[in-house]
Structure 1
Amino acid sequence: MATPTRRLARPALFICDLQEKFRPAIHEFPRVVSTTQKLLRAAQLLDIPVFATTQLRSKLGETCPELGLDAPDGIKTKAHVDKSAFSMFVPELQKAFYEMGEEKREVVVVGIESHICVTQTTLDLLRDGHKVYVIADAVSSCNAQEVPIALARLRAEGAVVTTSESFLYECMGDAGIGEFKGVAGVVKEFNKATRENLEALCKM
């Protein structure tokens, strides 16, 4: 039997503007954070590079603390950039992104708001030639009604709209890879939260 390899060769995780100050305003914000925590845990096991942004940090504050981005004992990012543009794909983040190489990547986008920053980030990445996965149980907006409209548009533009669990298993592609047991353990640990997050964020 051939040595198993991952299905996705060059994934990257983009975390868009999950700042504490947005918590009261965003529909089901804790659910978005919970799914992002799951993806971050799996990203550590799979060595997936993480990129994050804040929107006008001096006015709107820091990334919510439970994600632990760039904390001394937390998750290290390739770039954690403050911006005024709505798209994450600003020059400072692009510089860190392309320091990993010029190859096209599979970029996973989570965060807020679905119809503004997530949409514009996804469009920029698609136009730059990357495959983009928008995680439906990890994006939201102030108005819940904006989310399905944004996801439908992004699907039509060529993005893959999927769930966190589907993405993780597609990323691995084979139960024979060395990291499978660890990632499956993360999926199991978040099983109840995942079900609740899907029910809250992915209503048909």
Structure 2
Amino acid sequence: MATISRASRIRNPALFICDIQEKFRGIYEFPKLYESTQHHPTPNIQVHHLTKQPQTSISTTQKMLKAASTLQIPVYITTQNRAKLGTTVVELQEHLNGPHIRADVDKTLFSMITPEISNLLPQPGSGSPPLDVIIVGIETHICVTQTTLDLLERGHRVYILVDGVSSMNAEERGIALARLRDAGAIVSSSESVLFEIIGDAGHEGFRAVSGLVKEN
């Protein structure tokens, strides 16, 4: 399949939430993925991390989920072995409802591209435009990496939010992001992709999304 150009604007966004689960609360910068450390201190996160990177009232994933609801961006959610590793963290549960939530799938595959989710995505040769998939979640070097590679192989464009992904070992994140950029993914930030999706201060969702960004 021909490689889709990275020099294109986001036109057909979809948000993928990868395995932000209860058992992973000790992961590097985990609070940054879903909550404010000012209100919910997390065990096993070094104090100097909190000092260097203070969190405010809304996290990357919460911000993206709220924006997805406002803009009616399709959302796909997975958990990894939910029975052992827990559900998606309770702090995100209130944002996981609505017609834009297309899937909430438990899996054993590392990739989010399970048969259930694959069947919901535009198929090669169907005439439907490829997705601009925006990914947040964990772990960058395992599930996020394999999801990204599977999506690229299927002809979709992938945006990995550097402020929305993490790994248990902090060094693994940087290695994975470099590999995925080389593979054809776009490494960006939540604020950048949100304003790219809006595209115009006259957009009906501009004030709501701008407010979310200001909260952060």
TM-score of Structure 1 vs Structure 2, range by shorter chain = 0.7 to 0.9
| 1:143-169 C-alpha deviation (Å, 9 max, x unpaired) | 001011000000001100001101101
Residue number in structure 2 paired with 1:31: 32
**Conservation of the 8 A alpha-carbon contact between 1:18 and 1:63:** yes
Change (3 A) 1:57 1:93: same
Kept after mapping to 2: 8 A contact 1:70/1:76 = no
Unaligned 5+ runs, structure 1? 1-6, 191-204
Aligned to 1:196: none
Aligned partner of 1:104 in structure 2 is 130
Q: Which letter maps to 2:120?
A: A
SS at match of 2:137: strand
- CA shift, 1:19, in A, is 0.4
Higher helix content, 1 or 2:
1
Deviation at 1:103, TM superposition (A): 2.2
- Of 92, 98, 102, the match for 2:116: 92
* One-letter code aligned to 1:81: V
- Choose the corresponding residue for 2:72, options 31, 47, 59: 47
**Amino acid across the alignment from 1:10:** N
Shift of 1:69: 5.7
Q: What do residues 164-186 of structure 1 show as CA deviations (whole Å, max 9, x unaligned)?
A: 10110111111111111111111
The aligned residue for residue 82 of structure 1 is 106
Identity of matched residues, %? 57
Q: Report the count of equivalent residues.
A: 181
Pick which of 44-53 and 60-69 moved more.
60-69
Distance 1:134 1:70 in 2: 20
Alpha carbons of structure 1 residues 71 and 47: separation in structure 2 relative to 1, 3 Å: closer
TM-score (norm 1): 0.83
Q: In structure 2, list runs of 5 or more residues that go unmatched.
A: 1-8, 35-58
Query: What RMSD in Å do the two structures reach over aligned CA positions?
Result: 1.8
Q: What SS does the corresponding residue of 1:31 show, helix, strand or coil?
A: helix
Conserved 8 A contact 2:21-2:85 = yes
Return the letter of the residue paired with 1:8: I
Q: Conserved in 2, the CA contact under 8 Å of 1:19 and 1:54? A: yes
1:167 counterpart (193, 204, 207) = 193
TM-score, structure 2 normalization: 0.79
Cα distance change of structure 1 residues 60 and 111 upon mapping to structure 2, 3 Å threshold: same
Contact 1:87 1:117 in 2 (8 A): yes
